[in-house]
Structure 1
């Protein structure tokens, strides 16, 4: 049977296609909504600061690492393996794969929400669906998707192009309609609407939401395993990162400003994180006398976008997890591939772990609490693992005579190391403060419940990462 690494290749990918595929995993309209609820209009300044001080360096660092290790198909795990050894390569592969699971759950949750809006035309309420019903429907999405991925293995790049392109077009449309709305001198929902609203506030709430801000804009390295399938990958992969940075800047800055026009930033709905994107396009349609036209246009776009996210996250994550030396530390059943070279048992393991996370979070009081807690879990686990990317960059630049690259981010080694350490410190800080729940009143039963889940669920992921190598070792000793 062919290994995952030698499976049938897709057609060579161009850098604009890679940028659109990566855009799907990095940022979306929902990411703007999440942080708008946490910070209000001040999030515009937060986006600008993070773009300059974190996101642009981060994405160009990914560009250099992808160019340096362009012949490796494991992405971040390959980079760490080359710079820190085989065991760290496995740990990275496992961590990077497992922290993508809460995001997968979040995407599947959002898919359920999008279909609820499609068929009902309004937000999903607790009276219409129980917590357990919501969890079961989300799990069903995974099963259906794995069947789809198994049967239509070569549709990934088309899903990425359609999903990423459609979402970016919808965001541009939202911004354009906001400009038209303001040009007609219409009422702005946020009052008073002045410069002070946009000033950042560096208080405890900012640091509690920093992890989610980082999570909203990280994920660029997820596309790195596809650099081996690009046309002239070492040269063109960095171009994709530049295009991605421009798209991210446009979406976050102008999208957040536009939200302040249609929503009162001082009085936001409690379920904004779950339903805010739909409220936004519904409000825009009502303001222009077009009813639900924009709403349903967005619903279809959101469904395509979520399917594209599921496709790229599951496939890209499996490539990272099952490539390089990670196979030495895995039970052989997980490295088994089907006729299309897909790690089908790895997909089922993904579904199993995601279901455990779902059902643990389903013990919270409401569907909105489930959605918010699983979303915020991403702001804890994801930045911690992103820190490993900066560690790989630090190792590469500290030993730059050993690692050659066609593209070099910051020629001066000392300055490059300072930037690498800065990004590492920012990610660890954001992840640590993210453990504190931000969507419940401090000290309330729901707050305590969320805090426990924010600690227990990551421990479960770490525990599995320890158990699987022990099973693999036992299999080797008894083979």
Structure 2
């Protein structure tokens, strides 16, 4: 009991907002969005904020306040709103999406570290034990998940300290982007590197996003960028004065993040000309953040009248700072997301779903389950990294897998909200949607937004002859859905046997 009290004292409003910010706000999403869509990404971020993120965040606040004493997080929410099977499949899918995210991040985290050391991304030339770069990154990814698991298994206190550092690092990186872009704008006499016209907010400079279907598929990227706020739902029971602090923390974080993304994408265009900087074949989803930030440093040097060589040195140091900040942010998010989803899955679901050793909790951490998760992630990293593809294709595939896998579970969580509001026996101390009709509209809007976004994203590659990408996006969620249904079927059989035994 003593450890639980100490944990609850740590999660006051500011640490909670930092944890949400670390889990949700991905600095990389802004340069990546500018790389994919230019300024035309901004309207899509605003649209998805209105139709998904803000209503979804308020849903999470209502769920969290109503079930503040439930340790199961989103599982408890869905189980009490709809039923056990719906809740288990939805939660398992949601948990599986973070397994995919960890597979992605295990390999991607070495790119910012490369920028810290070398001032640029050199991972495409890394080689260990005679392996190629993609295989080397996979091997390093396995080392990373082992280190994270070893640290996280020692307790929640270690995790909260690391996530707070990560949140602070991202905040500082955003300040650098904001101040740097303004200085460049002034130095250039108010002229942006990427011309600002009405057309630039509706048309992407990226030729791959020229078709209406490709543009619509970008919606899932914006939803993914807003994802993660439901993770902290499982920490309601560890938040001080949770009925007030938890909804307030989510609301504050949601508004800051929604404004921050749109502003950040716009600022990228102040110092980056898409055709000059991002059209290169060497630029991909994994390293575009550091290409953009290196260019910011270079433009700052040019703006102050320094020589080209000095400007390049400044660019390399800005890339190093961006690498360090992103490395700390990735680390903070990784620790939170390696623990919180697993906690909700193990503690929330009936104990009979799991072997006794797997469901054992020590120091508020499911240690055995954490190590099993480590083995699963390592296996996926090996499978993907030794698939024989180049670094650019490797990272693009991982991003595609992650985007779809992490947004599909929102269909389950959002879909349970209207039934939750309809149940009058559930006490609701915090309510944004005062009537059932308003909650039903919110449910429909959120689920349709997520549903159509994923549909467009999945079918878009196939229409251009890239069936492999479509299959990769379908295979992950489909595999985990089948696993969840098999597990639930075994649970039902086990429950029936126990009931028949008792009757006999």
Where structure 2 has 5 or more consecutive residues not aligned to the other structure, the ranges are: 205-210, 302-313
Contact 1:208 1:430 in 2 (8 A): yes
Counterpart pick for 2:475 among 456, 461, 464: 456
- 2:241 paired residue number: 232
- 2:428 paired residue number: 405
Q: Report the Cα offset of residue 407 of structure 1.
A: 1.2
Higher alpha-carbon deviation: 382-391 or 261-270: 261-270
Matched, 1:158 2:161: yes
- Choose 1 or 2 for highest CA Rg: 2
Structure 1 residues 396, 457: closer, same or farther in 2, change over 3 A? Answer: closer
- 1:211 paired residue number: 220
Higher alpha-carbon deviation: 447-456 or 46-55: 447-456
User: Distance between the aligned counterparts of 1:398 and 1:474, measured in 2?
Assistant: 31
User: Distance between the aligned counterparts of 1:453 and 1:220, measured in 2?
Assistant: 25
Contact 2:91 2:409 in 1 (8 A): no
Give the SS at the match of 1:410: coil
User: Distance between the aligned counterparts of 1:309 and 1:36, measured in 2?
Assistant: 23
Structure 1 residues 123, 434: closer, same or farther in 2, change over 3 A? Answer: same
User: Distance between the aligned counterparts of 2:400 and 2:419, measured in 1?
Assistant: 30
Matched, 1:346 2:364: no
Matched, 1:282 2:294: yes
- 1:103 paired residue number: 101
- 1:442 paired residue number: 464
Counterpart pick for 2:323 among 288, 299, 302: 299
Deviations 1:173-206 (A, max 9, x none): 2112111211222585644432320136892012
Contact 1:90 1:326 in 2 (8 A): no
Contact 1:10 1:154 in 2 (8 A): yes
Contact 1:108 1:306 in 2 (8 A): no
Counterpart pick for 2:260 among 251, 270, 273: 251
Structure 1 residues 217, 321: closer, same or farther in 2, change over 3 A? Answer: same
Contact 2:44 2:219 in 1 (8 A): no
User: Distance between the aligned counterparts of 2:192 and 2:391, measured in 1?
Assistant: 27
User: Distance between the aligned counterparts of 1:41 and 1:260, measured in 2?
Assistant: 7
Matched, 1:37 2:41: no
User: Distance between the aligned counterparts of 1:242 and 1:32, measured in 2?
Assistant: 21
Contact 2:145 2:378 in 1 (8 A): no
Contact 2:82 2:420 in 1 (8 A): no
Contact 1:225 1:320 in 2 (8 A): yes
Deviations 1:147-188 (A, max 9, x none): 111235412222222211220221122112111211222585
Structure 1 residues 306, 407: closer, same or farther in 2, change over 3 A? Answer: same
Q: Report the Cα offset of residue 391 of structure 1.
A: 1.6
- 1:149 paired residue number: 152
Q: Report the Cα offset of residue 418 of structure 1.
A: 0.8
Count matched residues: 469
User: Distance between the aligned counterparts of 1:366 and 1:41, measured in 2?
Assistant: 29
Q: Report the Cα offset of residue 9 of structure 1.
A: 5.8
Give the SS at the match of 1:457: helix
Higher alpha-carbon deviation: 372-381 or 348-357: 348-357
Q: Report the Cα offset of residue 343 of structure 1.
A: 1.6
Contact 2:343 2:365 in 1 (8 A): no
Counterpart pick for 1:421 among 429, 440, 444: 444
- 2:78 paired residue number: 80
Contact 2:103 2:381 in 1 (8 A): yes
User: Distance between the aligned counterparts of 1:123 and 1:293, measured in 2?
Assistant: 13
Deviations 1:267-326 (A, max 9, x none): 534434111211222112222223433222222211111111111001101111111334
Contact 2:89 2:485 in 1 (8 A): no
1:12-411 mapped onto 2 (5 Å cutoff) = 12=9, 13-129=11-127, 130=132, 131-151=134-154, 153-185=156-188, 190-199=193-202, 203-266=212-275, 267-270=278-281, 271-289=283-301, 290-338=314-362, 340-362=363-385, 363=387, 365-399=389-423, 401-411=424-434
Where structure 1 has 5 or more consecutive residues not aligned to the other structure, the ranges are: none
Contact 1:33 1:273 in 2 (8 A): no
Give the SS at the match of 2:274: coil
